[in-house]
Amino acid sequence: MTGTVTLSQAQPRRATASLSVTLMVNGAIHDLFIDVRTSLLDALREHIGLTGAKKGCDHGQCGACTVHIDGRRVVSCLTLAAQAQGYDVGTIEGLQGVDGALHPMQQAFIDHDALQCGYCTPGQIMSAIACVQEGHAKSLDEIREYMSGNLCRCGAYVGIVAAIEDVAARTQG
Amino acid sequence: MTDVPFPNVPREDARQKVCGAPIFGADSPRPGLLHAALAVSTIPKGRILDIDTLAASATPGVRQVLTHQDLADLQLPGFLLGGYGFQNFQPLRSPDIAYRGQPIAVVVADTFEAATEAAALVRATYAAEAFCPTIDSPGVDIVDQADTPMGQFLTEPVAADADAAFAAAPIKVDIELKCPAQHQNPIELIATVAEWEGDTLIVHEGTQNAEGVRHGLARVLGIPAGQVEVISPFVGGGFGQKNSLQMQTALAAAASRRAGAPVKLVVPRTQLFQGASFRPASRHHVRLGADVSGTLLAAIHETDAQSSRIDFFPGEYAATSARLYGWSAFRGLHRLIRTDTQTPGFMRAPFEHPACFAMETAMDELAYAIGMDPVDLRLANDTILDPITKRPFSSRHAGTCLRRGAERFGWQARSAEPRSMRSADGSFVGWGVALGAYPGMMVSNVVRLTANSDGGVEIAMGAHEMGQGMRSVIAAVAGRKLRISPGAVTVVIGDTRAALQQPTAGSWGSASAALAIEAAADAMWKALAKLTPDGVVEGRSPSEILKAAARDSLDVETMVKPPGQPDDVFGLLRSGLVSRAGPVFDDCVSFSFIAHFVEVHVEPRLRRIRVPRVVSVADCGRVISPRTALSQVRGGVVWGIGAALREASETDPRYGGFLNADLAEYAIPVNADIGRIDVEFIDEPDGLLESGVKSLGEVSLCGVAPAIANAVFHATGRRLRELPIRIEHVM
Amino acid sequence: MQPFTYVRASNVGDAVKALSRGAKLLAGGTTLYDLMKLRIERPERIIDINHLGELKHFDTSGERELVFGALARMSEVAADAGLVRDYPAISESLWRAASQQLRNMASLGGNLLQRTRCPYFRGGEPYACNKRDPGSGCAAAEGLDRGQALLGASPSCSAVYPGDFAAALVAFDAEIDVVGPGGERVLPFEELHREPADTPQKETTLEPGEMIVRIRIPVTPLGRASTFLKVRDRESYAFALASAAVALEMDGDVVRDARVAVGGLATRPWRARAAERLLIGRRFDESAARAAGEAALDGAIPGRSNAFRIELGIRTVTDALMTARQRA
């Protein structure tokens, strides 16, 4: 039973251990046979081999696992992999162009040194791209508020805000 | 090489990092990987009477459940200072429980989900014992540090008769202050991927001390260190928590050996609060004596700091506070409070942040007691001689930091009276200043430097990249010394297979790396000179010389030790042990300094405290990597804001352990907490090393918290001597 | 986390039918999946309702009421221009909650059923908790209580109801439509949550097998001069130490109508009618606002270290009312 499980197909009461799940990640289709409890984050990291999204809390408290689902930022640690079937999942690995060109937000993070250890950085960048797309980068305070779901323990916030301000200014012309 | 400032260029590994490409410890893919999870003790002290693993073992997908009944042959790692562990305690070695959250079983399963669920099904019954979980627990054991085994290595800083001088001083400040336990909380969880290749153990783990982990594992597992390799090319933040052998590494290794497959063990955040090191809680009693003109006559700094029942984690608070000003009399004292917790440890500026909070709060109080501007008071007591050893500082620009900071901040517009400044929205405005200091230390190294005829240079050495920009520093120094582009330098660090590793901690990374690479580069030029017919290397690049000599490459290994260290430091290095030099050297004392100027706003009714603006001017010697150095200071200021206004690890004394053990309840600063942070560097080369570098990573945090507390006093008239300062303290 | 069966429901009827004992509805998952990882929630079956398109819509343009499907996402509703203009308190209560990532996931219906952040509840063993494990006791009663409820607590539980949106809903007399085995019924939102009394494990008045399908708010001129103020330990991404959802309708300087609710202080969404009565018909000034704040916190019972939140709650209501007055 690949793909969507409908109620009529569901087995009564007894919990099943594993599930076929088809995920579309960065435009590629991945057929997985995984434990039903698997989070989208663990599916990406442990089963698909995309380790850019990071585990920092596993409870939606740090934002290091931020990915896009249909272009919207979510925390993949609180998303069941099964839940993500039928949607487009976007991760940091999918940002670069075919020629290896960086996304403007990636370049801005370099230019403004908006990172230190690099562990929260994939989540920050995925969140930052969405922040601009949502129209939540109209002022420094708005950027700060809408980027507060991504903790950076190294304390790169000043650079992160500058990078987003930079990209937003160029995007909005 | 110190004459010219270094250029402001992007960090070496920035492109990798913005692509999510670095392979952190838990990212390492291994075929046939199994997953492990820990079951932990629910009591803080006692003994396991019985442990029931039946339900866990019966969980589908579980391969093995190991307890103390299986792993009693594990040995103790020794405590970090002289040993390898963050504590001299190895869980699962015996049924003894020393702290809540201590692992009591490790479960290995096919999946993370099965391992985690099975671990939760392990049930133990205990014989519980009485315990003292906090420094305020009734009956808790307090010892003088001088009476502990650490006492012989750490003498109390003393100059003249401070008690007599204090008693005679016309103006006195006599205060007690308190700093809470805190947790480092790097966003990268502590995690191990362990794999055996025959008799060799390969460990992937984010650590600041790959060599220590290697030797610690060898000791705990009873195998030769040569059979252990530790790989840690990127560390997702360390902040001191990852400076030693963790409690889970040997468990993952033992489990992997039994399972015959690689094992990944990612420790959940909540378990880290109770299973890895933390900043110990501390109480400070500070006395300052001065005359009416503001000349400091005496300072006394006594500290009671948390340690564990397992180890003596020594305090070095007064070693830094003693160096802040030119007092003629000083006395420091350290006592340790032995709580039933895991052993506390090093967290960014472990002693120096609390010490500066205590002393710089007292200095502000003294300024008000005298009626003197807080900047003027500090400038009036600046010194070029270390008051404890009477040796000169290797360099000291603390006064310049204060003067430039004051100018940049606009300090002259400050009105001294508390509650006298308001912002446009009616908030009370407070301006505060404080000085920070941090010792300059260095470690030895063995560098392998390879120059290739294609122009590339490879450096393998002992260092770790945990966000501070280590690769950028190494590439910049090597590039300048070898007259090549930093981009041509390949840096291999954090890998015991490539070179002996030194712990990267204590802000000694840049100075140690620069020292090592300079010596290695000099050795390389000497070796290259032998390849030339005339012995002349000037005006030639390494690759030109190699090509002319028809050589593909040239390999030079150099052993480098800091000034004043004996040759046997290399023996220690080979044993994975720390051998730091400094801050006291034969003819000088090395400290870095920073002045922080802080503006706080306190709302008139709700009393929320905000920090819209900080100006920091740092004296860290020559700045080798301007861009990463700037980020280091900004990050230190963010840490200071967290320390001053947000962070405390809380214990319910009935249960032990820590209650607010996740990132929702333990409030680290978020983006919206941070406003403008303006940073300036003195960028004057220090005299001790050719590179002119001094420490930076930790001094950046020192002094932020007292500057904020002093600003809160200025805004509200309330003198708050306990951190963190929260809304209830200013209502 | 216990294993479970995962199913997707394709319509409300199927979802309700499947909602047998041991089953849980999965919307955003931000509470349910989180608590499953902590083994506090242990459903045998997960019914994914994210494909019930009928529940995703919301309409803020109606003449009689604002209608929100239970699966409307917090972020989308928060950004609705009509809501931002005409009911700022509702928009603010949504965007000041959690983070944008979580708001993109969390549904309005799920948000209402968000469970407490009491650390003794979430901490599991060894902490006793009557809500998690009925009859085991309350570790918070003699514990660290800085964050515990001051209003509506009982000896068996002082866990705060953490939601922000609920404060706005209770202020604006929202109703919810609930579907269950017996059909559909309407419930005043104020009657959804229960005080803990001696059964803190029973948090709502929903019957077994019932699900929230809609939230409706009657159109009111009070919306425009409204605000939601949230005070917390950091500037964002944190739960409230105290919050207030307030609204004013003015007749010159005199209050014609008022709404006051507080959050972060009580065991359930807390409407402060006494504060409203005090304001209505009175000339508005700072002292009136303060008096309303005091009335809102009337009956608050402090513990060992949370007493400051009584004064903080009073000031939060006061400040919120001052803001609402400026918008009137």
Please report the pLDDT score of residue B151 as a whole number.
Answer: 87
Q: In B532-625, which residue ranges form alpha helices assigned H by DSSP?
A: 542-548, 569-574
Which of A3-17, B120-134, C130-144 is predicted least confidently?
A3-17
B728/chain C closest Cα distance in angstroms:
6
Contact B570, B557 (CB under 8 A): no
A28 and A87 housed in the same domain: yes
pLDDT digits (tens, 9 = 90+) for B628-676: 999 999 999 999 999 999 999 999 999 999 999 999 999 999 999 999 9
Distance of alpha carbon A44 from alpha carbon B641, whole angstroms: 35
- A89, part of any domain: yes
Number of domains in chain C: 1
Query: pLDDT-based confidence at C37, cuts 50/70/90?
Result: very high
| A117 contact residues in B (CB cutoff 8 A) | 186-188, 234-237, 465-467
Which of chain A's residues have a Cβ under 8 Å away from the Cβ of B233? none
Q: Do residues A108 and A158 both lie within one domain?
A: yes
Residues A142 and A74 in one domain: no
Closest-CA distance, B111 to chain C, in angstroms, reads 12
With tokens 């984690």, the residue in question is B313
Is the predicted pLDDT of residue C317 greater than 70, yes or no?
Answer: yes
Q: Average pLDDT in the A83-99 region?
A: 96
Whether residue A52 sits in one domain with residue A115: no
Query: Are the beta carbons of C5 and A14 separated by less than 8 Å?
Result: yes
Give residue C36's Cα distance to chain centre.
21
Q: Closest residue of B to A155, CA-based?
A: B635
Residue C81 contacts A where some CB pair is shorter than 8 Å: no
Alpha helices, DSSP H, located in A68-156:
104-111, 121-134, 140-146
Closest Cα in chain A to C27? A83
Give the pLDDT score at B237: 98
Residue in the block written with tokens 């997702």: B236
Name the residue facing B646 among C39, C127, C233 (closest C-beta): C233
Residue in C1, C117, C231 nearest the CB of B113: C1
- Chain B CB contacts of C235 below 8 Å: 610, 670, 672-673
**Tell me: the pLDDT tens digits for C239-291?**
999 999 999 999 999 999 999 999 999 999 999 999 999 999 999 999 999 99
- CATH number of the CATH domain containing C248: 3.30.390.50
Q: Are residues A15 and A74 in the same domain?
A: yes
Instruction: Please indicate whether, in this complex, the C-beta atoms of A113 and B11 are within 8 angstroms of each other.
Output: yes
Residue contact B671–A37, C-beta within 8 A = no
* Residue C323: domain span: 224-327
User: For residue B583, is the peptide bond before it cis, meaning its omega torsion is within 30 degrees of 0?
Assistant: yes
- Domain end call among A27, A59, A94: A94
Q: How far is C235 from chain A (nearest CA, A)?
A: 8
Q: Are residues A18 and A75 in the same domain?
A: yes
How far B34 CA sits from the closest chain A CA (Å)? 11
Residue A99 lies in a domain: no
Nearest-Cα distance to chain A for C301, in Å, is 31
Q: Are residues A90 and A115 in the same domain?
A: no
Q: Quick one: closest CA in B to C124, which residue?
A: B42
User: What is the pLDDT at residue A98?
Assistant: 87
- Cβ-Cβ contacts under 8 Å, A42 against chain B: 112-113
Same domain assignment for residues A39 and A81: yes
The reply to whether C232 falls in a domain is yes
Per-residue burial over B272-301, b = 16 or more CB atoms within 10 Å of its CB, e = otherwise: bbbbbbbbbbbbbebbbbbeeebbbbbbbb
Across the interface, whether the CB atoms of B116 and C1 are under 8 A apart is answered yes
Do A26 and A76 lie in one domain? The reply is yes
Does residue A66 belong to any structural domain of this protein? yes
Chain A within 8 Å of C4 (Cβ-Cβ)? yes
The pLDDT of A65-76, averaged and rounded, is 98
A89 and A108 in one domain? no
Q: In this structure, is residue C323 part of a structural domain?
A: yes
Work out the average pLDDT over C19-36. 95
Let me know whether A110 and A69 are in one domain.
no
- Min Cα–Cα distance to chain B from A130, Å: 16
CB B297 within 8 A of CB B165: yes
Window 182-221 of B: residues touching A by CB (8 A cutoff) are 184-189
**Residue A12 predicted with pLDDT over 50:** no
| pLDDT > 90 fraction of chain B, expressed in percent and rounded | 98
CA B83/CA B89 separation, integer angstroms: 11
Region A13-22: what's the mean pLDDT?
71
Does a structural domain hold residue C263?
Answer: yes
| Domain membership flag for residue C96 | no
Structural domains counted in chain A = 2
Contacts of B438 by beta carbon, 8 Å cutoff, 6+ apart: B320, B349, B352, B507, B591, B592, B695, B698, B699, B702
In a domain, C125, yes or no: no
Q: What is the pLDDT of residue B411?
A: 98
C189-228: pLDDT as tens digits: 999 999 999 999 999 999 999 999 999 999 999 999 999 9
Please identify, among A94, A118, A143, the residue that sits at the C-terminal boundary of a domain: A94
Asked, for residue C273, whether it belongs to a domain, the answer is yes
Q: What residues 6-35 of chain A have any CB closer than 8 A to a CB of chain C?
A: 6-7, 9-11, 13-17, 19, 35
Sequence-separated contacts (24+) of B220-228 with Cβ below 8 Å: B220/B74, B220/B75, B220/B76, B220/B77, B220/B85, B220/B90, B220/B245, B220/B250, B221/B74, B221/B75, B221/B250, B221/B253, B221/B254, B222/B73, B222/B75, B223/B199, B225/B576, B227/B199, B227/B200, B227/B201, B228/B200, B228/B201, B228/B203, B228/B496
Quick: pLDDT tens for B156-169: 999 999 999 999 99
3-state secondary structure of C96: coil
CB contact under 8 A, B10 and A150: no
Distance from CA of C115 to the nearest CA of A (A): 14
B111 to A161: CB separation less than 8 angstroms, yes or no:
no
Is residue A13 located within the same domain as residue A89? yes
pLDDT at position C121 is: 98
Residues from chain A that touch B671, judged by Cβ atoms under 8 A, are 143-145, 147-148, 150, 152, 157, 160-161
Residues in chain B closer than 8 A to A92 (CB atoms): 19-20
Give chain B's domains with CATH numbers: 25-131+186-238+242-275 (3.30.365.10), 144-182+279-440+586-729 (3.30.365.10), 441-574 (3.30.365.10)
The Cα of C170 is separated from the nearest Cα of chain A by a number of Å equal to 26
Q: Is the CB of C235 less than 8 angstroms away from the CB of B672?
A: yes
Is C132 inside a domain boundary? no
Q: Look at residue C198 and tell me if it is in a domain.
A: no
| Distance from chain centroid for Cα B213 | 17
Residues of chain B predicted below pLDDT 50: none
Q: Is residue A1 part of a domain?
A: no
- The parent domain of residue A112 ranges over 104-171
With respect to residue A119, please indicate whether it lies within any of the assigned structural domains: yes
> Cβ–Cβ of B673/C144 closer than 8 Å?
no
Point out the domain boundary residue: A94, A113, A139: A94
- CATH number of the CATH domain containing A21: 3.10.20.30
Asked if the C-beta of A127 comes within 8 angstroms of chain C's C-beta atoms, the answer is yes
- Which residues numbered 643-682 in B keep a CB inside 8 Å of some CB on A? 662-664, 668-672, 674, 676-677
A9: pLDDT strictly greater than 70: no
Looking up residue A118, the CATH number of its domain turns out to be 1.10.150.120
A18 in a structural domain: yes
